[in-house]
Amino acid sequence: MAWRKRKDEDEELEYEDEYEDEEYDDEDEEYDDDYDDDYRNPLKPILIVMIILLLAFAAIIGLMYVRLQSAEKANKELTASLSTVQTELNRMQAEAAAATPVPAQATPAPQEPAAPEATAVPEATAEPEATPEPEPTPEPEPTPAPAPKDSITDAELNGVVRPLDASWLETAKKGKVSAEYMLSVRWGPGLEYFENMALYHDNVVDILASQNGWYLIRTEAGAYGWALIQFIADA
């Protein structure tokens, strides 16, 4: 009986060893499968990194787009504000120019007429002999008006840029403001010069010179300035 019991114990130990060997073999196979999966997919970490980079790049592009839209909106608002300020400034300059009073010229005081002197009665004279009628003298030709270049002085321009000698017209001609509402007249022939007055639609002016797309004009009140040619039509 002792011998049979010992045999049964040996068989049980052998069975347990075989079971443990099979369990270890299963764990080794599972580890080998995981290792093979990682070895067969070497691009998996790279793909993950690329996806993360793409998401970050998309987020940066979206943020830049939002900022660009905000900057464009702010630029439009600033442009509209500047346009409004320029319009208001032009209106105020026009009102100031229109409100400037024209100095009245002093009229001389009337003089009392002098009393007529007593005249002596002429003595009777002999009738003169008939003289032949003189030949009619020709009427003098009217002298032409001086050219604007020679008649307009720097003092009359009062700070307005004087045109080049070749830019003066031979004679002044009439023009009319064709701008729909208001025309800015400047100190010189260019947008870099400041405005010195404003004219309105259908105001009549004298055109004196033409230079670089600008007219030197003179208003009915005697003020001078430069205006763009396209806003001055022939009267």
Which domains are present in the chain? Answer: 148-234 (2.30.30.40)
Neighbours of 129 (CB within 10 A): 5
Question: In angstroms, rounded to a whole number, what is the distance separating the alpha carbons of residues 205 and 232?
Answer: 9
Residue 136 tokens read as: 């009619």
> Percent of the chain at pLDDT above 70?
66
Which pLDDT band, with edges at 50, 70 and 90, does 11 fall under? low
CA–CA distance, 88 with 92 (Å, rounded to integer): 6
Q: Which two tokens stand for residue 99?
A: 């409100």
Instruction: Give the residues across from 197 on adjacent strands.
Output: 185
Could you tell me the two tokens for 175? 């023009």
pTM reported for the whole predicted model: 0.41
Highest mean pLDDT among 5-19, 78-92, 132-146: 78-92
- Identify the pLDDT of residue 170: 92
Rounded to whole angstroms, the Cα distance separating 134 from 131 reads: 9
Q: What is the pLDDT of residue 102?
A: 52
Q: What's 48's DSSP letter?
A: H
pLDDT confidence of 91, banded at 50, 70, 90?
confident
| CB 232 within 8 Å of CB 216 | no
Contact 175, 215 (CB under 8 A): yes
Strands of the chain (E only): list them.
168-177, 182-186, 195-200, 204-211, 214-219, 224-228, 232-234
Q: How confident is the model at residue 76 (pLDDT cuts 50, 70, 90)?
A: confident
Q: Which two tokens stand for residue 29?
A: 């196979």
For residues 195-212, average pLDDT: 95
